[in-house]
Structure 1
Amino acid sequence: MSAAPPLSRLSVNQETIKQWSLPELAEGCAKEGVTSVGLWRAPVQAYGVERAARLMRESGLAVTSLCRGGFLTDTAGAARARALDDNRAAIDEAAALGADTLVLVSGGLPPGSKDLAGARERIADGLALLGPYAEERSVRLAIEPLHPMFASDRCVVSTLGQALDLAERFPARQVGVVVDTYHVWWDDQAPAQIARAGAGGRLHAFQLADWITPLPAGVLLGRGQLGDGCVDFRAFRDLVDAAGYDGPIEVEIFNEALWERDGGEVLRETAERFRTHA
Structure 2
Amino acid sequence: MRDFSAEHRWLSINTITLDRQGDLAAIIEACARHGVTAVCPWRHKVAEMGLDRSAKALRDAGLALSGYCRGGMMVADAAHRQAARDDNRRAVEEAAVLGAPCLVLVAGGLPQFSRPGSAPGKDIAAARAMVAEEIAYLLEFAETAKMPLALEPLHPMMAADRGCINTLGQALDLCEALDPDGSRGLGVAVDIYHVWWDPALAAQIARAGARRLQAFHVCDWLVPTRHLLNDRGMMGDGIVDIPAVRALVEAAGYRGYAEVEIFSEQWWRLPMDEVIATCIERHKRAV
What is the TM-score of this pair, normalised by structure 1? 0.95
Aligned amino acid, residue 4 of structure 1 = F
String of CA shifts for 1:226-253, please: whole Å, max 9, x gaps: 1000011100110000000001110000
| Match for residue 127 of structure 1 among 135, 138, 142 | 135
- Aligned residue number for residue 63 of structure 1: 65
1-structure distance, mates of 2:55, 2:266: 29
- Aligned residue number for residue 273 of structure 2: 264
Aligned amino acid, residue 279 of structure 2 = T
Aligned amino acid, residue 207 of structure 2 = R
String of CA shifts for 1:93-140, please: whole Å, max 9, x gaps: 100110021111101112443322221111111111111211221211
- Aligned residue number for residue 99 of structure 1: 100
Secondary structure, counterpart of 1:176 in structure 2: strand
- Aligned residue number for residue 117 of structure 2: none
- Aligned residue number for residue 170 of structure 2: 162
1:145 is displaced (CA, Å) by: 0.6
CA pair 37-2 structure 1, distance change in 2 beyond 3 A: closer
- Aligned residue number for residue 254 of structure 2: 245
1:177 is displaced (CA, Å) by: 0.7
Native 8 Å contact 1:2 1:234 kept in 2: no
Aligned amino acid, residue 136 of structure 1 = T
Native 8 Å contact 1:101 1:204 kept in 2: yes
1-structure distance, mates of 2:213, 2:4: 20
Aligned amino acid, residue 102 of structure 1 = L
Native 8 Å contact 1:100 1:138 kept in 2: no
Aligned amino acid, residue 191 of structure 1 = A
1:2 is displaced (CA, Å) by: 6.2
Percent of pairs identical after alignment?
Answer: 49
Secondary structure, counterpart of 1:142 in structure 2: strand
1:3 is displaced (CA, Å) by: 3.6
Point out 4+ residue stretches in structure 1 off by more than 6 angstroms: none
Aligned ranges 1:45-194 → 2 under 5 Å: 45-74=47-76, 76-111=77-112, 112-171=120-179, 172=182, 173-194=184-205
Provide the aligned C-alpha RMSD in A.
1.4
- Aligned residue number for residue 224 of structure 2: 214
2-structure distance, mates of 1:162, 1:48: 35
Aligned amino acid, residue 50 of structure 1 = D
2-structure distance, mates of 1:13, 1:153: 22
Native 8 Å contact 1:179 1:207 kept in 2: yes
Question: How many residue pairs are counted as aligned between the two chains?
Answer: 275
Is 266-275 or 117-126 further displaced after alignment?
A: 117-126
Native 8 Å contact 2:150 2:214 kept in 1: yes
Native 8 Å contact 2:38 2:63 kept in 1: yes
- Aligned residue number for residue 4 of structure 1: 4
| Match for residue 282 of structure 2 among 270, 273, 277 | 273
1:20 aligns with 2:31: no
Native 8 Å contact 2:153 2:189 kept in 1: yes
1:42 aligns with 2:50: no
Native 8 Å contact 1:132 1:174 kept in 2: no
- Aligned residue number for residue 204 of structure 1: 214
2-structure distance, mates of 1:153, 1:21: 27
Aligned amino acid, residue 85 of structure 2 = L
Native 8 Å contact 2:231 2:266 kept in 1: no
2-structure distance, mates of 1:231, 1:10: 18
2-structure distance, mates of 1:168, 1:209: 28
Unaligned runs of 5+ in 2: 113-119
Indicate the structure with greater strand content: 1
1-structure distance, mates of 2:92, 2:246: 28
Aligned amino acid, residue 121 of structure 2 = S
